[in-house]
């Protein structure tokens, strides 16, 4: 079982989709990095943390039926690679929909949900998941 800090230190990105923009090449990335993988040393001092909007389209997706303890309660669940409007790609679950209603290109938006919990009394991990835009904006969602 992992210790709490391992998850806690990634919370800004997990909760608020904080990525970064490289002000040398202008590209957006997620999650944050120390240097831009393309500009390398030229990007030092030019990395700007950016909160990504969380809207984008499905680049590819799958319905997972086997293989993970932490998600076992939710199986099957959908995992997608989402291309965010800023250009960065991100991997996460797609919820509140049926896999049959999804296709490559489906518009989605990010929302905050429970990712997993460690046993019945352990730490609960929260993070982003995605909802198809056609489900409509849910006013009760805390984004």
Partner 1 sequence: MRRVAVIGTGITEFGELWDSSFRKLGIGAGLAAVEDAKISAEQIDAMYVGNMSAGRFIRQEHVGALIADYSGLVKDHVPATRVEAAGASGGLALRQGFLAVASGLHDIVVVGGAEKMTDVSDTESSMIQSSAADQEWETELGATFAGLHALIATRHMHEHGTTREQLADVAVKNHKHGSLNPKAQFRREINRDVVLRSPIVASPLRMFDCAPSSDGAAAVVLCPLENAEKYAEVPVEIVGSGQASDSLALHNRKDICTMSATRVASDRAFAMAGLSQDDVDVAEVHDNFTISEVLAVEDLGFFAKGEGGKATEDGRTSLEGDVAINTSGGLKARGDPIGATGVAQAVEIVTQLRGTAEKRQVKDADVGLAQNVGGTGATAVVHLFRRA
**What is the DSSP secondary structure assignment for residue 15, as one 8-state letter?**
H
Residue 130: what are its φ and ψ, rounded to 5°?
-120, 150
Tokens 């590819």, residue located: 60
Using CB under 8 A as the criterion, which residues of the chain lie in contact with partner 1 when the complex forms? Answer: 10, 29-31, 37, 59-72, 76-77, 79-81, 89-93, 99, 104, 115-116, 125, 127-128
- Sheet containing 47-51, strands listed edge to edge, beginning at the edge strand earlier in sequence: 28-29, 18-22, 47-51
Minimum CB separation of residue 75 from partner 1 in Å reads 10
**Residue 62 in contact with residue 78, Cβ under 8 Å?**
yes
Q: Which helix (H) or strand (E) holds 110?
A: strand 107-117
In the complex with partner 1, which residue's Cβ is closer, 132 or 140? 132
Name the token pair of 67.
Answer: 């293989």
Minimum CB separation of residue 67 from partner 1 in Å reads 4
In the complex with partner 1, which residue's Cβ is closer, 24 or 61? 61
In the complex with partner 1, which residue's Cβ is closer, 12 or 31? 31
Minimum CB separation of residue 69 from partner 1 in Å reads 6
In the complex with partner 1, which residue's Cβ is closer, 67 or 136? 67
Minimum CB separation of residue 44 from partner 1 in Å reads 20
């Amino acid at each position: 079982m992992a210790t709490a800090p391992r998850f806690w230190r990634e919370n800004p990105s997990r909760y608020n989709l904080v990525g970064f923009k490289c002000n040398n090449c202008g590209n957006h990335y997620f999650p944050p990095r120390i240097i831009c993988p393309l500009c390398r040393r030229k990007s030092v001092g030019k990395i700007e943390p950016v909160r990504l909007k969380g809207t984008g389209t499905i680049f590819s997706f799958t319905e997972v039926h086997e293989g993970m303890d932490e998600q076992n309660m939710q199986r099957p669940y959908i995992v997608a690679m989402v291309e965010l409007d800023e250009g960065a790609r991100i991997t996460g679950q797609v919820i509140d929909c049926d896999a049959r209603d999804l296709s490559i290109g489906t518009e989605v938006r990010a929302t905050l949900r429970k990712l997993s919990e460690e046993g019945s009394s352990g730490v609960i991990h929260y993070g982003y998941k995605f909802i198809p835009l056609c489900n409509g904006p849910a006013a009760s969602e805390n984004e």
